[in-house]
Each structure stands twice: as C-alpha cells, then as structure tokens.
Amino acid sequence: MRILMVMTSHDRLGHTRQKTGVWLEEFAAPYYVFKDADVELTLASPKGGKPPIDPCSETPNAQTPATRHFKGDKDAQAAFSASSVLRTVAGDDFEAVFYPGGHGPLWDLAEDRASIDLIEVMWFEEKFVAAVCHGPGVFRHTNKPDGTPLVKAKSITGFANTEEEAVGLTHVVPFLVEEMLRANGGLFSKAENWHPHVVIDGNLVTGQNPASSEPAAKTLLHLMTRQQLSLMLGGAEPVPPFTCRPEQQAADALPS
C-alpha cells in the first residue's frame, strides 16, 4: 500500500506574530500507524523540505507517545525534513492521501492548485482521501467533475467552531473549517471539544481534532486493507458512511 502525506509549508498565524505549521501529533501518530503497517509512505509539502511545526504542539502538555517517539527517531526526522515539493508528486502513484492539520493548511493548502488537483484526481479515481483537524480545510475549493463541491452531501468532520473559539483564533484564521464544510454542503458532525471523532463516507475519511489523528489513520488503513482483500476476492464493495469512535474501529472498520 502506498500513502502520500501532505503537510503545510505555512508558518504564520495571519496578521499576528505567532508561528504555526503542522500540529506535530497529527503528523507523528499517523506516520507511525502507517510505518508500523509497512506502508510505502511519501511525504510532501507545497515548498518541499522541512515543514514548519506549530510550536504549541511541541509544548510539554501537548506531547504524546507518538511525538516523543518522533523526537528520538532520526530516520523519521530526516524523512520529515526532506518532504517532496507537492507539485512534483502524482496521485497515480498512491492509493491514498492523508492531510494532517495544524492551522497552516488554511492559508496554503486550501488555496494550493497542486493540492486541489491532487485531491480531485484521486477522488475521480476512487482512491482514499483523508484529513484531520484543520486538514479538511483543503476541501475549500475542491469539486467533483460536475462542478459541485466535493464534500456536498458527504458525511464529514473537522476542527469545530467551538474548538477554534476555545483556542482564541476565530477571528485570526482566514475561514472556519466547520463553517466552510457546511457551506459547501457537507453533512458535518462533531463530538465534544477535543474528543476523538472520525467520520467515513465512501473513500473519504475525516477526523475532528488532534485526538482523532491516530484513529483516523487506523481507520484509513483498515479501509484500504478491506478494499485490497475485496479486490483479491473478485470485486470491491462500497463503503457505507458512518461515524466512529476509536473503540468502534475494530468492529466497524475491519473486514467481516
């Protein structure tokens, strides 16, 4: 299995002097889910090289087993620092794309033509598209072949308005993820602030917040495995939309 992880290259919170970038947990947890499953993993960002890391995600209270693992993993750090330039990457080379969050994607990836084209091509080819937290901001300008928003009538989640308000950035970000997804016709759902929440609709997998990053990655991996097994047995079966919590995944996402 081949998965492309796309990260932001943007490091400024709008008009403020504060730094932003990738939220480390949202990269590290999925990274190790995929690596532990022997996925062929490629990292990319609009500018290539080392993506900026949101300094708030490196504070002591934001650390998790995955972030601590990353900080001691020279191979992972080297891969992270050598991300490919996104416009040089082709969706044909992957079965899935995964977008971690951090506030950065709201400024660059949401408007990036290479990212928009990548998502639309992979969607058209019925490959998996996954995003967590602010990652679903990348769907702002993505459309289906008929010109309608890609997320229209799709069950979806992302960083909630109440979570953005809680971190005090409602009036700093260029748009609110929840508000945008609803405006584009998405069937938005959410859990309580900071609680894991993953939504699946067909080949679309989204997670609400940092706590959802590992469950979303595991869900994506399960769906890809199920699809692989189904193809081996003679035909792909459609994936119904549903919302899951981490404890549901083994029962709901694995092959029956």
Note the pLDDT of residue 236: 52
206-227 as b/e: b if 16+ CB within 10 A = bbbbbbbbbbbbbbbbbbbebb
Percent of the chain with pLDDT over 70: 91
Note the pLDDT of residue 140: 98
**How far is the C-alpha of 142 from the C-alpha of 122, rounded, in Å?**
11
Rounded to 5 degrees, φ, ψ at 85 are -70, 125
Note the pLDDT of residue 231: 77
Note the pLDDT of residue 248: 46
The dihedral through the CA atoms of 32, 35, 39, 40 has a sign that is positive
Note the pLDDT of residue 4: 98
Note the pLDDT of residue 250: 39
Beta bridge partners of 251: none
- Region of residue 225 (phi > 0: left; psi between -120 and 50: alpha; otherwise: beta): alpha
Q: CATH number of the domain that 147 lies in?
A: 3.40.50.880
In the predicted model, residues of the chain with pLDDT beneath 70 are: 235-256
Determine the structural domain holding residue 126 and report its residue range. Answer: 2-252
Count of domains forming the chain: 1
Note the pLDDT of residue 141: 98
Note the pLDDT of residue 232: 78
Tokens at residue 95, please?
């079965």
Closest CA to 13 of 138, 159, 172, 132: 172
Note the pLDDT of residue 238: 53
Q: What is the pTM of this model?
A: 0.91
Q: What is the pLDDT of residues 45-54, one digit of tens each?
A: 999 999 999 9
Note the pLDDT of residue 249: 44
